[in-house]
Structure 1
């Protein structure tokens, strides 16, 4: 057996390891379905100019990303996207949402929409903070 440290691993290895831990988790968790969920807004050229992505499983919506192009910021687009994600998750039976945001990102935005900080990872990645936020849908 040889333990090898890879400083620039192939994406194929990372995907393989993610798949293996997911297989283990599904064999032991009380839920057996994880479904992706996304919202997008496209311009007239068909380019995505705003959107969000995450997944639902069990009672939870996990939001991984929410992005709005610079030109659309301040026009309530992010709020509409967030509300669409939450509504779709509720229709799937979710009752709680979890997300994280960095200190320079959107914590006040999420607080405005009812999210509460549950945990702060300080000194992330060096001098910043990462906020883990939850909302009952």
Structure 2
């Protein structure tokens, strides 16, 4: 069999559909629901100007934070903490196990510790310590985990679908 391997910026819709269907079939065969949904939480002032954005996704029983961005003039004013708190409040009680993220040493590891995240693992970069990665996690307390699990025919436990594709948050 002849084949080719190529790097691409984006796969075609047909390739994406084929891959997704096969991944979902594999996960389903193991009783797992991938539960993958991208979303953003947008923080705006009363004039509609964007102050910050949190980009994340759900996968299995976890919420993974991709990015938190606060507009430069508004940094250090507690807006990052407000975005994290909104994320926690939104998913609390909805069957998820944890919120997790990865940050570099030059970014904000101390910020996440102050917000109650625990360093789970550190991948040291000895050639460029600014790029040392810290993997953080924050578990939901006393949470019954229903996300990421397909409906159990015997117990009748169903997976909740509670994510919203886009959500705007306003603060007084």
2:70 paired with 1:68:
yes
Alignment of 1:96-115 (within 5 A): 96-115=98-117
Partner of 2:145: none
Partner of 1:3: 4
2:43 paired with 1:59:
no
Q: Which one has the bigger strand percentage?
A: 1
User: What TM-score, normalized by structure 2, do the two folds share?
Assistant: 0.65
Moved more, 86-95 or 103-112: 86-95
Partner of 2:137: 134
Q: Which runs of 4+ in 1 moved over 6 A?
A: 14-18
Structure 1 gaps, min length 5 = none
* Greater radius of gyration (CA): 2
- The alignment covers a number of residue pairs equal to 133
User: What TM-score, normalized by structure 1, do the two folds share?
Assistant: 0.79
Report the Cα offset of residue 22 of structure 1: 4.1
Q: Which one has the bigger helix percentage?
A: 1
Provide the rounded CA distance (Å) in 2 between the counterparts of 1:103 and 1:14: 36
Provide the rounded CA distance (Å) in 2 between the counterparts of 1:122 and 1:42: 36
